[in-house]
Amino acid sequence: MSGGRRRPLVAGNWKMNLLQAEAAVWCRALRSDLPTSKAAVGVAVFPSFPLLPVVARELTGSSIAVGGQDLHPAEKGAHTGDVSGAQLADAGCTWVLCGHSERRRDHGESDELVGRKAAAALRHGLTPLICLGETRDERQAGRTFEVLERQLRAALAPLDSRPVGFALAYEPVWAIGTGETATPEIAQEAHAFLRRLLAGLEGVGPAAEGLSLLYGGSVTPDSAPGLIAQADIDGFLVGGASLDPRNFLAIIRGSG
């Protein structure tokens, strides 16, 4: 358990996977098997945009939250292919990923843009799950903490009004989709660094103790218990293993 201070959260990031019928089956399987004593672990799922209506419908009345995988910082307008915070909220989302490393890599998202997206999320009542993490080269060059600090400061810079309504996902890029999970020690070291940094930020301060810091990167039912036992790891952002509801459920069970 994560130090007993924060309720664990397990979030599934489906990325660009599943079709509507598969999404509906997934939701039904998860709902029917999720422990009814729902209090122990929070659960959220991040489907692709076209799946949001079916997922929101299937999960109505459940304790499982729904989130978008990205949003545009603007309210609306001429941004072909993008999605606004208002549209996500309207589709039943309460969360949104900001700055996932695949967005940074595939779409050249800058640290500064990630901050504007997080601010837009808050304006629409969505909780931004801000993703950050170093590449393998950055880790090998001893630059991990420098990169995390840069990404965190930039992501939070525009959040002046409600600075504590967010969560972080530490996702070392070298661990995402590679099968190479960070060891509990490596992940805890990064999480402790991020929490100390948050505690020192104006507007966050002591509230840092209550913020959820998730780990992401090749989390499996086997690796989850060792990670969640760390003091500053409050849950998971799960990619590949979230696509099979049995694996996802096993991770949820292993996190409570």
Within residues 134-193, the interface with ligand PGA by CB under 6 A covers 171, 176-177
| Cα separation, 124 vs 146, whole angstroms | 31
Within residues 97-136, the interface with ligand PGA by CB under 6 A covers none
- In the complex with ligand PGA, the residue whose CB is nearer, 67 or 217, is 217
Catalytic option among 100, 109, 138, 191? 100
Is 171 one of the annotated active-site residues of the chain? yes
208-235 burial code (b ≥16 CB/10 A, e <16): beebbbbbbbbbbbebbeebbebebbbb
Applying CB under 6 A, does 13 fall inside the site for ligand PGA? yes
Q: Which DSSP string do the residues of 71-103 spell out, in sequence order? A: --SSSSSS-TT---HHHHHHTT-SEEEES-HHH
Minimum distance of ligand PGA from residue 4's CB (angstroms): 26
Instruction: State phi, psi for 10 to the nearest 5 degrees.
Output: -120, 120
Within residues 182-221, the interface with ligand PGA by CB under 6 A covers 216-219
Size, binding site for ligand PGA by CB under 6 A: 13
Mask: binding to ligand PGA, 69-88, rule CB under 6 A, as x and -?
--------------------
Six token digits for residue 138: 């950055």
Catalytic residues: 100, 171
